[in-house]
């Protein structure tokens, strides 16, 4: 089975995670994919395949290098897709030998992939692109990574004379809601170092990510009949709008890039009596991250001073931190990835992650874990797409990485 065939098989399973589910994993459908992957690993000949009570799939390929101590390499991808767009009834379509023109995803709804807006399309002219029908996300984040890792397993089990050290495989649930490493058993996993295969464009290597926090803003209003409301009503929805207006206008995802941080309002609800805003706070710099959290609390304090104590309640919860400090002592992992990409004919590019990965939390848990490209673009929405040729080349790169990882200390 090719990496393309695997990918199309995996995206047929709706594995959206859910922020407010209150269970782990957050959605039942993630179990369906986990069981499929565990069975496929066993069928391919992977060893010690296990699916635990928390929906983590793990397996290993034992080292075939005799009389040498070789560190164990981990490869990790996540099974869930983002709750930001529907993952139900995904209808992928292959655009063969893309010609550089506008791709109509959904003619009825007027949804198009236009290279004038999505410049990355121009880097894939002549390639086969997998796109959506404009009504769902695609699931390349991170089923491209899963398909690539599974194809690596397939390669090594079919080519037992190709030397490699112990390779540990893991597929995690709930990464998209920040919980992918929550119950990850590093000791059971068995790797000395690992990579998540959860990045974007081919060639990207990432070891710097956002520091991330979630902020909940809860506002209490006073409901009075509009005809008798003067000097009595406090409209919670209007206070919520005021809160939003007090945050820096141009420090949002739509106005930032590179290392620039932001406040992102990702959901809101409300009426006169109560309102709620949910933000994510992101910054690569730890000091600026702390300042952002303090500022959002100070806005709540100001509105309480203005409207009365108890009007606004602000809760802030850290989710993950920049893995940079944990990877710097192990920069050989980055150099090795660079060398393996070049050996596979891929131009490497070290870039910061404008998001987070399981690898960030795993690095702080004691498993150094940079992030590698998986080949997709425009994640979390209907404009998501991936290149078949990118996935194929990334698979070759991962095979070279495993070989070179074993050779470096041998």
Catalytic residues: 80, 175
φ/ψ bin of 114: left (φ > 0), alpha (ψ from -120 to 50), beta (otherwise): beta
φ/ψ bin of 50: left (φ > 0), alpha (ψ from -120 to 50), beta (otherwise): beta
Helix (H) or strand (E) holding 290: helix 286-307
Dihedral sign for Cα atoms in the order 105, 108, 114, 117: negative
Q: Beta strand pairing status for 211-220 and 274-283?
A: antiparallel
Torsion angles phi and psi, residue 320, rounded to 5: -165, 170
* Count of helices and strands (H, E) across the chain: 10, 18
Residue with tokens 């933000």: 279
Q: At what angle do helices 29-44 and 140-158 cross, to 10 degrees?
A: 20
Give every CB contact of residue 164 below 8 A, 6+ residues apart in sequence: 61, 63, 64, 65, 156, 402, 403, 405, 406
Helix (H) or strand (E) holding 165: none
User: Are 213 and 316 a contacting pair, CB within 8 Å?
Assistant: yes
User: For 60-219, where are the alpha helices, taking DSSP H only?
Assistant: 140-158, 186-189
The burial class, CB within 10 Å (0-12 / 13-18 / 19+), for 305 is: exposed
What distance in Å separates the CA atoms of residue 403 and residue 122, rounded to the nearest whole number? 32
Name which of 84, 37, 39, 71 is nearest 378 in CA terms: 84
Distances (CA, A) of 226 to 213, 219, 222, 237: 38, 19, 11, 15
SS3 state at 157? helix
CA dihedral of 18, 23, 28, 32, whole degrees rounded to 10: 110
């Amino acid at each position: 089975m090719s990496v393309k065939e695997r990918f199309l098989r995996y995206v047929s399973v709706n594995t959206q995670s859910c922020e407010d589910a209150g269970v782990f994993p957050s959605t039942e459908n993630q179990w369906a994919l986990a069981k499929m992957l565990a069975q496929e690993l066993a069928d391919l000949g992977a060893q010690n395949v296990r699916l635990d009570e928390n929906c983590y799939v793990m397996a290993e390929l034992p080292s075939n290098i005799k009389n040498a101590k070789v560190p164990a390499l981990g490869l990790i991808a996540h099974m869930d897709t983002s709750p930001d767009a529907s993952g139900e009834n995904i209808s992928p379509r292959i655009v063969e030998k893309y010609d550089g023109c506008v791709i109509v995803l959904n003619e009825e709804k007027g949804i198009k992939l236009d290279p004038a807006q999505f410049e990355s399309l121009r880097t894939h002219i002549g390639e086969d692109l997998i796109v959506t029908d404009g009504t769902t996300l695609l699931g390349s984040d991170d089923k491209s990574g899963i398909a690539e890792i599974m194809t690596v397993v397939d390669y090594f089990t079919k080519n037992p004379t190709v030397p490699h050290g112990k390779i540990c495989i893991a597929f995690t649930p709930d990464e998209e809601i920040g919980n992918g490493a929550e119950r990850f058993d590093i000791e059971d996993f068995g790797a000395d170092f690992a990579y998540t295969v959860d990045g974007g464009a081919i060639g990207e290597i990432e070891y710097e990510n956002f520091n991330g926090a979630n902020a909940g803003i809860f506002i209490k209003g006073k409901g009075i009949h509009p005809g008798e409301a003067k000097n009595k009503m406090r409209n919670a929805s209007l206070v919520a709008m005021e809160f939003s207006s007090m945050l820096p206008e141009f420090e949002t995802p739509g106005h930032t890039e590179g290392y620039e941080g932001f406040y992102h309002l990702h959901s809101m609800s409300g009426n006169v009596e109560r309102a709620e805003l949910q933000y994510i706070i992101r910054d690569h710099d730890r000091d600026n991250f702390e300042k952002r959290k303090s500022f959002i609390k100070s806005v709540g304090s100001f509105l309480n001073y203005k409207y009365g104590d108890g009007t606004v309640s602000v809760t802030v919860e850290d989710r993950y931190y920049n893995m940079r400090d944990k990877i710097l002592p192990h920069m050989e992992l980055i150099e090795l990835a660079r060398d393996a990409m070049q050996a596979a004919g891929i131009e490497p590019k070290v870039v910061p992650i404008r998001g987070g990965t399981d690898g960030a939390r795993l690095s702080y848990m004691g498993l150094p874990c940079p992030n590698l490209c998986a080949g997709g673009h425009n994640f979390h929405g209907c404009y998501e797409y991936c290149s078949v040729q990118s996935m194929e080349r990334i698979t070759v790169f991962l095979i070279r990485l495993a070989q070179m990882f074993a050779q470096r200390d041998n």
